[in-house]
Amino acid sequence: MRTWSINRRARFPLLLMAAAELSIVFSSPFIASLLIFGNVDQIAPNQEYLGFKSLLLAIGVFLSLIAMGLYQSDQRLYFYESVVRIAAALVCATVGLAVIFFALPVVAVGKMVMAVAMGYSAILLVALRYFFYRTIDEHVFRRKILIYGSGKRASSIDDLRRKADRRGFKIVGRIAAPGDKPVESGTARIEHDAPLIEIAKKTGADEILVAMDERRGNLPIRQLLDARLAGVEVIDLLEFIERESGKIRVDLVSPGWLIFSSGFRVSRFRRFCQRTVDLSVSATLLLVAWPAMLLTMLAIKIEEGIRAPVIYRQSRVGEGGLPFSVLKFRSMRTDAEADGEARWATATDDRVTRVGAVLRKFRLDELPQVFNVLSGQMALVGPRPERPEFVDDLKQKIPYYAERHTIKPGVTGWAQVKYAYGASDEDAAEKLHYDLYYVKNQSLLLDIVIILQTVEVVLWGKGAR
């Protein structure tokens, strides 16, 4: 419950914008009908449940906006890029809704009304985004953070350098804490010569971020409690980074934090919901994608000959550290690892075939993994499975790497939509931060968000290799 509360406050500007955009699209059929006919009686051929039809339209556009990555708090987009993605979202929503209207005419919205509604929505959505980027995103709802600590742990906040990373907060000062070895920072340090509550009021801080190097015997419990009771939020460094960046910093984690923090629990109900979604979505995907899969197999045969294998089986580490064979369309030459040595794929890997390059760019090589999902070896969403050779090495180098295997691996995942393709030990360590975040906070809602944002990864070729 506390995690949800924190995440809700952290993303309030985006939630506000989402509510405004939903309102725009929901009202668009009514506005369109007024503009065309002077009344709302012509919205649809069937006049029943007009509110429901408008809601269906709003949900379709909203899901498309999510799929285009327009509600990612750390998304770095120029304004014109947002315009392009809004246009793409409206096109996708129109196509999807057209299919629904064809299958269920009773929920259909009139063609002319639909066209005007989409045009009206496009204009207002673009205008709202411009207003959001120029005003609200820059100046409103940013929490003022007072950091208690000026040593190594506190300096980790400086890793959040990007404008998008600091969208939700502004640092108003740092207080040198006992036991810290001060590290240079762009934020001026404040001498701890007054109670924390007074410093917080003087700087206008909304939160006190506890980032001490050594808490034992140095934590000002009474002062922090007074600040909390006075309405100033007190937050731990790990919790703060988790909230602002959507990842868990492995280098700051202790075993005690893993044991006592909220999350890291998978109930039977959660497993049931996940499996239900896995089966239904995978079966639907298989029904929709089989023509593309047949064309892919044909393309591989044309390029490499009739005897060339189409499906590539590779050993990967799954739930509980148990190996399984992942299925992929073959995108590399048959002699890619003739020497028997496992290697990371690189950006200009000469082992990738011409057809394989296209498959990898749009993630089509991953389609056969629906059979891994249907068989229960994988889930739709989870940490990407790695090869046993890499896992054995990474477990020795990266703390808590084995914890990503406590759940089923996924076709897509939080790390896949938040981080580029990983091809080194350093990339694996960075992706683990996101994988642990998912293991800790996994839910049906998060799964849906990841699945929708995977559309963005596919369409815009993010991290393809």
Q: Could you identify the residue written with the tokens 């063609």?
A: 111
Q: What is the pLDDT of residues 341-395, one digit of tens each?
A: 767 666 667 788 889 888 888 888 999 999 999 999 999 999 999 999 999 999 9
Confidence of residue 9 (pLDDT cuts 50, 70, 90): very low
CA 259 to chain centre: 25
Q: What is the DSSP string of 319-379?
A: GGG-EEEEEEE--B-TTTTTT-------TT-TTB-HHHHHHHHTTGGGTTHHHHHHTTS-E
Residue 171 zone, left/alpha/beta (φ > 0; ψ -120 to 50; rest): beta
Q: What is the pLDDT of residues 290-299, one digit of tens each?
A: 999 999 999 9
Confidence of residue 411 (pLDDT cuts 50, 70, 90): very high
Q: Could you identify the residue written with the tokens 């040198």?
A: 176
Tell me what pLDDT residue 406 has.
93
What is the biggest distance separating any 2 CA atoms in the chain, rounded to whole angstroms? 79
Confidence of residue 216 (pLDDT cuts 50, 70, 90): confident
Residue 451 zone, left/alpha/beta (φ > 0; ψ -120 to 50; rest): alpha
Tokens encoding 260 = 């006592």
Length of the chain: 465
Q: Give the full edge-to-edge strand order of the sheet including 233-236.
A: 189-190, 169-175, 143-148, 207-210, 233-236
Q: Could you identify the residue written with the tokens 């897509």?
A: 412
Percent of the chain with pLDDT over 90: 45
Residue 6 has pLDDT above 50, yes or no: no
Residue 88 has pLDDT above 50, yes or no: yes
Model-level pTM? 0.81
Q: What is the DSSP string of 388-407?
A: HHHHHHHHHHSTTGGGGGGS
Q: What is the mean pLDDT of the chain?
A: 85
- Distance CA(142)–CA(299), nearest Å, equals 51
Confidence of residue 155 (pLDDT cuts 50, 70, 90): confident
Percent of the chain with pLDDT over 70: 86
Residue 43 has pLDDT above 60, yes or no: no
Q: What is the pLDDT of residues 331-342, one digit of tens each?
A: 888 766 666 676
